[in-house]
C-alpha cells in the first residue's frame, strides 16, 4: 500500500475533527440566563397585576370634594330624572374609582355589587350606594318614574356617602 495516494489532512493534523464547536458550558449559561430573564419578566407582570387590583390608594380628597360640589349644584326635577340619576351614579362610581383601583365607571351594577363586597372602604352606606345605583338603572333603562321626594332623598344619600368618602381619604 502506498501512503502517498491517501489524501492527507491539511497542516499535518492526523485523525482530529477540524470543525469548530462552541463549548457546552457556554450554551448552558446562555439558556440559563434566558430562562432567568423570562422568569423575572413574568414575575414582574404578576406582582404588578396583583398590586393594582382592588388595593386601597390614599389620594387627595380634592377630587371627591369636586364631585360632591358638582352634585350639590344639581337641580332636582321630575322631567330630568334620567340625567340627574346618571350624574349621581357616575359621581359615586368616580369617587370609588379614585379610592379603590377598580374601574367602577366601566362596570355594570351586578359587577359592582360583586366587587364592592370585598372593597367597600366604609363600614356604612353600602345599602345606600346600592340603592342609588338601582334607582338610576331603573329610571334610565326601565322608564321607571320617581317622586320628587325620592329624588331629593337619593341626592342626600349620595352627598352623605361622598362626604364620608372624603373624610375616609382625608384621615387614612
* 56 DSSP 8-state letter: B
Report the C-alpha dihedral over residues 22, 24, 29, 35, rounded to 10 degrees. 110
Q: Distance between CA atoms of 172 and 159, rounded to whole angstroms?
A: 20
The answer to whether position 45 is within a domain reads no
State residue 58's pLDDT score: 47
The number of folded domains in the chain is 1
The answer to whether position 54 is within a domain reads no
The β-bridge partners of 56 are 100
> In Å, how far are 50, 64, 88, 103, 144 from 94, measured between CA atoms?
22, 8, 10, 9, 24
The length of the chain, given as a count of residues: 172
Residue 100 backbone phi and psi in degrees, to 5: -110, 130
The overall pTM is greater than 0.85? no
The answer to whether position 116 is within a domain reads yes
Write out the chain's pLDDT in tens, 172 residues. Answer: 555 666 665 665 555 555 566 678 888 889 999 999 999 988 888 877 665 555 545 466 788 888 888 989 888 887 888 888 889 889 988 888 888 778 888 888 888 888 877 777 766 778 888 888 888 888 888 888 888 898 899 899 999 888 888 888 877 6
**Range(s) of the domain holding residue 109:** 62-171
State residue 35's pLDDT score: 93
Determine the 3-state secondary structure of 100 from DSSP: strand
Amino acid at each position: 500500500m502506498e501512503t502517498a495516494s491517501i489524501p492527507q489532512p491539511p497542516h499535518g493534523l492526523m485523525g482530529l475533527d477540524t470543525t469548530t464547536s462552541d463549548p457546552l458550558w457556554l450554551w448552558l449559561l446562555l439558556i440559563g440566563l434566558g430562562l432567568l430573564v423570562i422568569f423575572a419578566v413574568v414575575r414582574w407582570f404578576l406582582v404588578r397585576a396583583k398590586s393594582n387590583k382592588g388595593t386601597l390608594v390614599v389620594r387627595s380628597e380634592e377630587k371627591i370634594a369636586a364631585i360632591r360640589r358638582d352634585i350639590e349644584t344639581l337641580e332636582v326635577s321630575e322631567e330630568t330624572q334620567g340625567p340627574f340619576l346618571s350624574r349621581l351614579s357616575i359621581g359615586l362610581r368616580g369617587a370609588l374609582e379614585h379610592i379603590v383601583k377598580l374601574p367602577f365607571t366601566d362596570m355594570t351594577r351586578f359587577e359592582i355589587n360583586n366587587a364592592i363586597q370585598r372593597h367597600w372602604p366604609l363600614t356604612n352606606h353600602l345599602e345606600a350606594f346600592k340603592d342609588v345605583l338601582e334607582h338610576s338603572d331603573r329610571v334610565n333603562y326601565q322608564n321607571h318614574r320617581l317622586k320628587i321626594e325620592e329624588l331629593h332623598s337619593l341626592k342626600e344619600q349620595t352627598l352623605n356617602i361622598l362626604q364620608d368618602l372624603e373624610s375616609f381619604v382625608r384621615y387614612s
